[in-house]
Amino acid sequence: QVQLVESGGGLVQPGGSLRLSCAASGSIWHLYIMGWYRQAPGKERELVATITSGSNTNYADSVKGRFTISRENAKNTVYLQMNSLKPEDTAVYYCYARQINTYWGQGTQVTVSS
């Protein structure tokens, strides 16, 4: 089993920034992909960004140019730097990792509001 623990969510004003972190622990041998999904109230969970162990990245169109995903393989940690936040970015953000199985974190709330 792999455990994912997120941190860094909170309340921020429109135009502000937040940085999310997610640390993986447990039975890790190679996390091929790590990333972030989000789920807003009344909506389905959607991809935000992913990054492979070789640092290939993929972003949702809605966050391109504003969010940056990165990872530290030695620490099994993935980050999401979120800039120029908008009210529509408000959601619970879930960390995601794929080894043989897929693992999810417990989620961290991000609220963008004045």
CB 11 within 8 A of CB 17: no
**59 sits in which H/E element:** strand 57-59
Per-residue pLDDT of the chain (114 residues; tens, 9 = 90+): 899 999 999 999 999 999 999 999 988 888 889 999 999 999 999 999 999 999 999 999 999 999 999 999 899 999 999 999 999 999 999 999 998 899 999 999 999 999
Q: Could you read off the pLDDT of 14-36 as tens digits, one per residue? A: 999 999 999 999 888 888 899 99
**Angle (nearest 5°) at CA 53 between 66 and 44:** 50
